[in-house]
Amino acid sequence: AAARVDGGDWLREAGRHLSRVAAEVNPAVVHIESDHEGRGGEVIEETGSGIVMQSPVAQGLFVVTNRHVVVGAPPASINIHLADGRILHPYRVLDDMSTDIAVMQLRETDVRTARWGDSDNLDIGHVVLAMGSPFGLSQSVTMGIISAKGRRSLSLGGPREVINQDFLQTDAAINPGNSGGPLIDLGGLVVGI
């Protein structure tokens, strides 16, 4: 009977730890809506997620997301919804097609940020959290493990093939709208997008 009590205490504490990690990072997770003009002149709306970060070598704050969430949208047509209810617009968008990553620079400085981790320190089986706004439901968290590392030459499809050379694979649930959201280790550090 004592082993069951100890095991139950350990599981409760593990759950509390996961909750603390999610609560620490959630204020830096954003929901993104962007509008751009399609080939036929129609307006196309994209939605996704992102994470507010800062850099030790560059001034200011920025949002990291997937390129396909914001590609072709002028900065004024990109709405970045913060956890505190504010909506921001970036003043500059930098993107890289080969990695499907975009970095959006912000003028605001009073926004919570997350911290970078090192994905090289992860092993297969490490527990991770995927955070974002799937289906437009902000502040969503799913849990999984690192299923594989070093996935190479994976094609993501589309009109131009995007080739990524070092994917992490996770079994955490990733749904439409999660694109660009952070993958978090149990220390609350961003280890993937």
Active site residues: 68, 100, 179
Q: If phi over 0 gives left and psi between -120 and 50 gives alpha, with beta otherwise, what is residue 176?
A: beta
Residues linked to residue 128 through DSSP beta bridges, in sequence order:
144
Q: Which two tokens stand for residue 142?
A: 């799913």
- Distance, in Å, from the CA atom of 90 to the CA atom of 50, rounded to the nearest integer, reads 13
- Distance, in Å, from the CA atom of 72 to the CA atom of 193, rounded to the nearest integer, reads 20
Helix H or strand E encompassing 144: strand 140-151
